[in-house]
Structure formats: structure tokens, C-alpha cells
């Protein structure tokens, strides 16, 4: 079981010897609670906590963002103790509890069994074409490491990032439209008078095996959210697959929420409920979380690649 909870309800991992197991158990327990939650509002609140953290830390694995959401859902920037000191001239405030995440172990890796030299010797792998000192380095495992959020530190102010376009929906719409080629889709913004798709704000169809998106003309923030939603459908979903439509919509809306919040758009209208996934086990939920994360990264990077649009780190 999870070691303990702080007064704020955040999870903490205190036992050094058991910490790795506790971290895995905490993720499984949290996802199980999402699956078992009967109260949709409570499930939505928990899921939204993860989405909020994912919007801040899109380059982190879904397991690490789940761990951050469990321990410090209000986190915005995290770094190790020495990194805060050496690179930012900030000091972790006395008495603050670390946020534990997984860090990769990098080592020369056997080309066949993918183990480090020490573990390779203990396996039945017969690879001996090249000596270990000639192997390429790779990830051979993970270890728990402590990090701290900026709110847990004090010292010099952080340098301001150039994010002039952050939250400016009109510029974001322009970058999204330009990103269509990068994402291998075509997009048309259609006037309300010419709109032929009823109450839908956007649609994604495939024309000549290429996703074609139509979005109804509206306020820039609404167009941006709809575009991201439809990009998620184009990247994630086979148009011939009509099974589990509710879950598909939730995945697309989750991507729109993560990307929109990353650029400081108000996304309060998103209907983030887990009812569609109530029959999933924790492994299926983790797979969905990873799909949402990977698609969000793809869209964020496509936006950031546009000339003149300063994405966020």
C-alpha cells in the first residue's frame, strides 16, 4: 500500500527500501480508483488532475506525470535538489517533502538481450560478437529519484521564457492551421452560413486516405479547441472503427484539454468523465493515458515548429 498521505491528501513515499514498490502500487491503486469510481464527478476530478499535470510536463512519461499528480498536483516546474542550486541559484525550503519520479538508468546495453553488462553475465544470452565497452548505451532500467517543484524552493526568480503567444488564441489558431501539413492533414474553416454538419463544431473525414478536417468558424479560442480535438481524431482513430465512440471522444477531448491548457487556453467546457472507460482494467487505462500523452506531444511539437510561434518548454 501507499506509505502515507500528507495533511493535504497528497501521497508521500517515505520508506527508502520499499519506495520503488510503493510508487508502482500508488499508480495501480489510483488508476483502480478511477475505474471503480461510481461518482462520475469524482472520477472526472481525479482524471483532470492528471491532465492538468500532463499539460505542464508533456515531455514526462505518463507514469511520471501520474506520480506528480498523486504527490503534488499543483506542480508547475520540477528539478532535482542540486539542479535548483547550481542552475537556478534557488534552495529547497527546509522541511519540504520530495516528489519521487522514475529516472532512467543509462548503461552500455547488450545488442541482443538489452541488459547492462553485469546483468548480461547472469542471463543465458550468448551474444559475444563485440565486447561490452563497444556496446551502445541505452536505458536498462529505472530508479526512484527525488525532485522538487519551484513552489518548494526560494531564491532568485526564474528567467522569463519568451511566450508572447501563450494564451493568445488567434495566434494559436494560425499556428494550428500551419501545422496541418506537419501532421499530414488538410483543414478548412467553414463559415456558419455554409456549415453543413448540424450541431457539430468540427468533423474529421478521410479523403484519398488523408484526414480532412472541417471546423465551423467561431471565436479563436473555440476554433483552437475544436482543431486540436479533430487533430487528435486524425492521429488516433481509424475512421472505419465505429466501436467505443464515447471513449474515442473522451481521448480526443483529453488531448484538446492538455494542449489547450499548455497554451493557457480556458478549457473549462471539456466534458472529462471516465464513464466510457469504466470497464477498463489498469493496464488499459495506462495505455489510454500513454495514447493521450503521445498525441498531445505530437500536436504541441507541430505547433512549436511553426516559425514565429514561441511554444512552451
Residue 220 makes CB contacts below 8 A (sequence gap 6+) with: 169, 170, 172, 173
Distance, CA of 269 to CA of 257 (rounded, Å): 9
- 131 pLDDT more than 60: yes
pLDDT at 276: 58
- 178 pLDDT more than 90: yes
Q: Is the dihedral of CA 158, 159, 163, 168 positive or negative?
A: positive
Cβ atoms < 10 Å from Cβ of 301: 15
Give the cell for residue 153.
Answer: 524552493
Mean pLDDT, the chain, as a whole number?
Answer: 80
Q: Measured in Å, how far apart are the chain's first and last C-alpha atoms?
A: 35
Mean pLDDT, range 264-293, rounded to an integer: 69
Of the pLDDT bands very low, low, confident and very high (cuts 50, 70, 90), residue 27 is confident
Residue 261: HSE in the Cβ half-sphere, 13 Å Cα cutoff: 23
Distance, CA of 119 to CA of 288 (rounded, Å): 32
pLDDT at 7: 45
Length of the chain, in residues: 313
- 8 pLDDT more than 60: no
Mean pLDDT, range 129-144, rounded to an integer: 86
Tell me how many degrees the CA angle 271-69-236 measures, rounded to the nearest 5. Answer: 50
CB 44 within 8 A of CB 36: no
pTM of the model: 0.69
Three-state SS for 142?
A: strand
Q: What percent of the chain is predicted at pLDDT more than 90?
A: 26
Give the cell for residue 16.
Answer: 527508502
Give CA 205 to chain center in angstroms.
26
Enter the DSSP assignment of 132. G
Name the percent of the chain in helix, strand, coil, to the closest 5. 45, 15, 40
Amino acid at each position: 500500500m501507499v506509505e502515507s498521505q500528507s495533511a493535504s491528501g497528497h501521497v508521500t513515499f517515505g520508506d527508502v527500501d520499499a519506495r520503488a514498490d510503493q510508487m508502482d502500487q500508488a499508480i495501480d491503486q489510483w488508476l483502480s480508483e478511477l475505474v471503480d469510481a461510481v461518482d462520475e464527478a469524482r472520477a472526472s476530478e481525479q482524471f483532470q488532475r492528471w491532465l492538468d499535470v500532463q499539460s505542464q510536463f508533456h515531455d514526462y512519461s505518463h507514469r511520471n506525470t501520474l506520480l506528480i499528480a498523486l504527490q503534488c498536483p499543483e506542480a508547475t516546474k520540477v528539478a532535482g535538489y542540486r539542479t535548483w542550486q547550481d542552475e537556478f541559484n534557488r534552495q529547497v525550503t527546509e522541511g519540504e517533502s520530495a516528489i519521487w519520479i522514475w529516472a532512467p538508468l543509462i548503461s552500455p546495453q547488450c545488442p541482443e538481450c538489452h541488459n547492462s553488462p553485469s546483468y548480461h553475465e547472469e542471463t543465458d544470452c550468448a551474444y559475444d560478437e563485440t565486447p561490452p565497452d563497444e556496446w551502445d548505451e541505452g536505458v536498462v532500467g529505472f530508479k526512484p529519484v527525488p525532485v522538487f517543484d519551484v513552489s518548494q524552493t526560494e531564491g532568485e526568480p526564474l528567467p522569463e521564457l519568451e511566450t508572447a503567444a501563450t494564451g493568445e488564441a488567434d495566434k494559436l489558431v494560425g499556428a494550428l492551421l500551419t501545422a496541418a501539413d506537419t501532421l499530414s492533414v488538410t483543414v478548412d474553416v467553414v463559415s456558419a452560413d455554409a456549415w453543413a454538419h448540424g450541431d457539430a463544431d468540427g468533423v474529421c473525414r478521410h479523403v484519398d486516405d488523408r484526414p480532412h478536417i472541417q471546423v465551423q468558424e467561431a471565436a479563436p479560442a473555440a476554433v483552437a479547441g475544436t482543431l486540436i480535438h479533430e487533430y487528435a481524431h486524425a492521429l488516433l482513430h481509424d475512421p472505419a472503427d465505429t466501436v467505443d465512440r464515447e471513449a474515442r471522444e473522451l481521448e480526443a477531448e483529453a488531448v484538446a484539454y492538455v494542449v489547450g491548457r499548455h497554451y493557457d487556453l480556458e478549457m473549462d467546457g471539456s466534458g472529462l468523465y471516465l464513464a466510457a472507460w469504466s470497464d477498463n482494467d489498469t493496464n488499459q487505462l495506462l495505455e489510454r493515458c500513454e495514447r493521450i500523452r503521445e498525441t498531445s506531444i505530437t500536436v504541441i511539437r507541430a505547433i512549436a515548429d511553426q516559425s514565429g510561434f514561441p511554444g512552451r518548454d
